[in-house]
């Protein structure tokens, strides 16, 4: 690999791992189950590594050439695996980018389930979102790393990736609905909460991508999140 390619691969690795919010990403539910049962076995570690490596290769190519200009066969060849093997790990081309968001699918539901006694669901989620802003978690949009910005440009600039992302968001809503007790009120609340988190994050990312200083965006993001979650708290059903 040439110098440019090496820099691209290193950048993509940093992007995907930062966006995931953890170093161990890919097949997240399987990994979590293994972790709960004990030490991860060799087979599970190899599978997890395959997810990471193939996704890193794919995102490198997508960032260099554009998502639509790279075929699945090209990704498989660059990753030195067969196309059928690639599809055993990733159900679609879009999932090569987005499967790591699966780590966040039930994050809101987990936060709600683990909230302190007497704490509202909205307040627990507000606290978690504010903590993410403070630590520059890419999921909040408050992150000025050039590789993270490039990843978000790839994501939000590709219609098929945006469409696929909404499938992940719908599953987040389903998980949060269950955590809130189920029923129509819980579903309406979950939809509003997930939408607020998404809109806040996209606004933060867009401002940074447009060249605004990260410190300014972070300051405003804290205020905007407080206001948005306060409005949610005031307007949502008592189940929240």
pLDDT, tens only, 67-97: 999 999 999 999 999 999 999 999 999 999 9
Inter-residue contact 121 to 227 (CB < 8 Å): no
Inter-residue contact 59 to 11 (CB < 8 Å): no
- The C-alpha atoms of residue 119 and residue 89 are separated, in whole angstroms, by 39
Note the pTM of the prediction, 2 decimals.
0.78
**Up-side HSE of residue 46: CA atoms within 13 Å toward CB?**
3
Convert the pLDDT of each residue in 18-28 to its tens digit.
Answer: 444 432 223 33
pLDDT over 90 percentage in the chain:
73
- Selected residue with higher pLDDT from 176 and 47: 176
Inter-residue contact 72 to 135 (CB < 8 Å): no
């Amino acid at each position: 690999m040439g110098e440019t390619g090496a820099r691209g691969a290193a950048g993509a690795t940093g992007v995907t791992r930062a966006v995931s919010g953890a170093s161990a990403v890919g097949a997240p539910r399987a990994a979590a189950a293994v972790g709960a049962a004990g030490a991860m076995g060799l087979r599970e570690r190899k599978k997890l590594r395959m997810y990471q490596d193939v996704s890193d290769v794919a995102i490198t190519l997508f960032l260099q050439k554009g998502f639509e200009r790279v075929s699945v066969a090209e990704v498989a060849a660059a990753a030195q695996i067969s196309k059928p093997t690639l599809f055993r790990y990733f159900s679609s081309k879009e999932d090569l980018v987005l499967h790591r968001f699966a780590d966040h699918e039930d994050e809101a539901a987990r936060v709600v389930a683990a909230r302190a006694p007497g704490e509202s669901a909205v307040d627990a989620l507000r606290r978690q979102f504010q903590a993410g802003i403070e630590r520059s978690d890419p999921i909040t949009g408050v992150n000025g790393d050039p590789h993270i910005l490039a990843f978000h440009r790839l994501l939000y600039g590709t219609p098929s990736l945006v469409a696929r992302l909404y499938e992940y968001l719908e599953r987040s809503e389903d998980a949060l609905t269950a955590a809130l007790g189920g029923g129509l009120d819980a579903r309406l609340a979950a939809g509003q909460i997930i939408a607020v988190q998404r809109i806040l994050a996209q606004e933060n990312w867009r401002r940074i991508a447009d060249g605004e200083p990260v410190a300014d965006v972070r300051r405003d993001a804290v205020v905007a999140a407080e206001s948005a979650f306060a409005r949610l708290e005031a307007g949502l059903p008592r189940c929240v």
